[in-house]
Amino acid sequence: MMKTKIVLFAVSTLMIVALVLAACAPKPAAAPAPTTSQPVPTTSQPAPTTPQAAPTTPQPVLTTSQPAPTTPPPATVAASEGNVIYNQRCAICHGPNAEGTAVGPAIAGHSMAAVKTQVRNPMGTMMAFPVSQLTDHDLKELAEFIASLAPAKMPVQEWEKATSETIHHWMALLAIKDGDAKDARHHLEDVITFVKEPMHKTEVNKALNMMAQGNIHDAEHEIEEMAGSESPSGITKQRFHVLLAQRGNEAENAAEAKHHLEHFMVKATDVQKKIAEEALELIEKGDFHEAEHEIEELME
């Protein structure tokens, strides 16, 4: 019994010592609390391989309410005095650019002298403009404007396409209407020199015989039948002579060209005579090309 008590006492004492030792032992260090600071990535970390699109700044869109900038129109040049006069007096017949119409021929680039002559003493059907209707100052301005334009080729009129013998018939008819039987015979004799058909020559001789007998009226009808059409209205013998001179010059037939220019000069103005004389001199020298320019000026 005693032994048992001693054993129990010993065990109790050991337990007490163990508890005391446990209480006196140092406590283990507490684990450090996690911090909020995160490791900073370094430049050694590779950049992402997929390129990222940079954010773009939206561009303003033009709306219909915002007109796009335009280039300012060029400053308009005031029309010259001669241009104004031309538009008022000439454009209706000769076209807005003097290029010619069905009513009037092209006159762009014509010389001042030719313009002045045609205005004051016109050929063909054009009416004259006296000083009371167009002053000398206005005529000078008009002529300067027309001369400054680039030359335009005058359109060929339908009557100008007629054969030379037809034109001679027309000229004979005009001579008869003017009471000039001698000139009418002259043109019929010209026809005989170049017509080739025997029947045609017979008809011309018949008309000549009628005229020789004083039967002018019947001769006129005979010539009209040979012409095949009426003489174009308003075209003068002067105009016909210039056209035939032009044809002779184009064919380099000096005699034919000179013949008609000389006839033209009989009733030409002083300015026209001077131009015709220059054409004759050029034809005499064989310079048909330069003569053509002079004759064209007479056709204006």
Query: What is the domain partition of the chain in residue ranges?
Result: 81-148, 159-227, 237-299
- Identify the band that residue 78 occupies on the pLDDT scale cut at 50, 70 and 90: low
Q: What is the pLDDT of residue 35?
A: 47
What number is the average pLDDT over the span 62-72?
A: 51
Mutual orientation of helices 288-299 and 237-250 as an angle, nearest 10°?
160
The residue type of 172 is: A
pLDDT at position 249 over 70 = yes
Q: Bigger pLDDT: 246 or 39?
A: 246
CA angle, 229 then 124 then 133, to 5°: 150
pLDDT at position 37 over 60 = no
Residue 31, class by beta-carbon neighbours within 10 Å (0-12 exposed, 13-18 middle, 19+ buried)? exposed
Q: Which helix (H) or strand (E) holds 139?
A: helix 136-148
Q: What is the pLDDT of residue 296?
A: 85
Q: Which residues contact 273 (CB under 8 A, 6 or more apart)?
A: 265
- CATH fold, domain 81-148, is Cytochrome Bc1 Complex; Chain D, domain 2 (1.10.760)
Q: Bigger pLDDT: 20 or 232?
A: 232
Q: Which residues contact 173 (CB under 8 A, 6 or more apart)?
A: 184, 220, 223, 224, 227, 231
Q: Bigger pLDDT: 67 or 269?
A: 269
Residue 112, class by beta-carbon neighbours within 10 Å (0-12 exposed, 13-18 middle, 19+ buried)? middle
What number is the average pLDDT over the span 80-105?
A: 88
Q: What is the pLDDT of residue 127?
A: 86
Q: Which helix (H) or strand (E) holds 184?
A: helix 181-194
CA angle, 190 then 193 then 198, to 5°: 115
Residue 84, class by beta-carbon neighbours within 10 Å (0-12 exposed, 13-18 middle, 19+ buried)? middle
pLDDT at position 69 over 60 = no
Q: What is the pLDDT of residue 210?
A: 93
pLDDT at position 173 over 80 = yes
Q: What is the pLDDT of residue 166?
A: 83
Residue 190, class by beta-carbon neighbours within 10 Å (0-12 exposed, 13-18 middle, 19+ buried)? buried
Q: Length of the chain, please?
A: 300
